Chains A and B, each alone.
Chain A
Amino acid sequence: QQQVKQSPQSLIVQKGGISIINCAYENTAFDYFPWYQQFPGKGPALLIAIRPDVSEKKEGRFTISFNKSAKQFSLHIMDSQPGDSATYFCAASRGTGANNLFFGTGTRLTVIP
């Protein structure tokens, strides 16, 4: 059973546009929600993370929106650039001492120049 559901599977965006990736979860014990970026041949790298006590977090062009009641969170990439072309994974984990991340299935983002 997929604990974190991610959509879309792939996304094509024009340079300068906004990329939006959505994730949903069921387990209300999750309290840490990171987003990872992965380039081919590399391991995932943390982009940005949020805890459920805030509804939005912004770092540069990357913003996480979090809706606790709907159990959904999303990543927005503003002014998307060709260098942003990568696979993006949302994830979730439960509580202190639980370092195991449950990952979404990934979104392959392509930014067209």
Chain B
Amino acid sequence: KAGVTQTPRYLIKTRGQQVTLSCSPISGHRSVSWYQQTPGQGLQFLFEYFSETQRNKGNFPGRFSGRQFSNSRSEMNVSTLELGDSALYLCASSWTGGSYNEQFFGPGTRLTVL
């Protein structure tokens, strides 16, 4: 099976712009979670989608949003970008979304905000 894919791998934006990142989960996986990884804050949970519905949400401002399509592919959007949004954004997929299911991470999208 192909692993989790994320596009694009690298992105450079300027403050105030918006960005959309894409994640394709492993075939058959219905849960997609998004995480932000920064040197200062580490890995932080953004949100999880399961069967096209947001099931869990972390403590991020409303500028961060996401959605999931019927084929389980997911997108996350960040509006009005700030310098502090520069990070590696990781997507993880799992089979049914239960807590004991292994989450498989993609390689991430490196976002740089100038």
**Interface set of A (CB-CB < 8 Å, partner B):** 31-32, 34, 36, 41-46, 49, 51, 89, 91, 93-106
The answer to whether A105 touches B42 (Cβ under 8 A) is: yes
What sequence of 0s and 1s flags, for each residue 76-97 of chain B, a beta carbon within 8 Å of any chain A beta carbon?
0000000000000010101001
Q: Does B4 interact with chain A (Cβ within 8 Å)? A: yes
Which residues of chain B are within 8 angstroms of A36 by Cβ–Cβ distance? 105
Interface of B is mostly: strand
The answer to whether residues A99 and B108 also contact, given A51-B100, A105-B42 and a CB cut-off of 8 A, is no
Known pairs A98-B56, A100-B56, A101-B45; A31 contacts B99 (CB<8 A): yes
Does residue B27 face the partner (Cβ distance < 8 Å to A)? no
Q: Is the CB of B56 within 8 A of A43?
A: no
Cβ of B48 and Cβ of A44 under 8 Å apart? no
Q: With a CB–CB cut-off of 8 A, which chain A residues contact B4?
A: 43
Q: List 14 A-B contacts (CB under 8 A).
A: A43-B90, A43-B92, A45-B105, A51-B100, A91-B43, A96-B98, A97-B98, A97-B99, A99-B56, A100-B33, A100-B48, A101-B43, A103-B42, A106-B43
Contacts of B102 in A (CB 8 A): 34, 46, 49
B14 at the interface (CB under 8 A from A): no
Assess whether A99 is in contact with B42, with CB atoms less than 8 Å apart: no
CB-CB under 8 A from B48, the residues of chain A are 99-100
Q: Report the minimum CB–CB distance from A3 to chain B (whole Å).
A: 10
With A99-B94, A102-B45, A105-B42 in contact, is A43–B107 under 8 Å at CB?
yes
B106 contacts the other chain (CB 8 A): yes
Assuming the contacts A43-B106, A44-B105, A46-B103, asked whether A99 and B43 have C-beta atoms less than 8 A apart, the reply is no
Does chain A have a CB within 8 A of B31? yes
Q: How far is the CA of A94 from the CA of B56 in the complex (A)?
A: 12
Given contacts A43-B90, A105-B42, contact A99 B101 (CB under 8 A): yes
Identify 4 new A-B residue pairs, CB closer than 8 A, beyond the known A96-B98, A98-B99, A106-B43: A89-B43, A95-B99, A101-B33, A103-B42
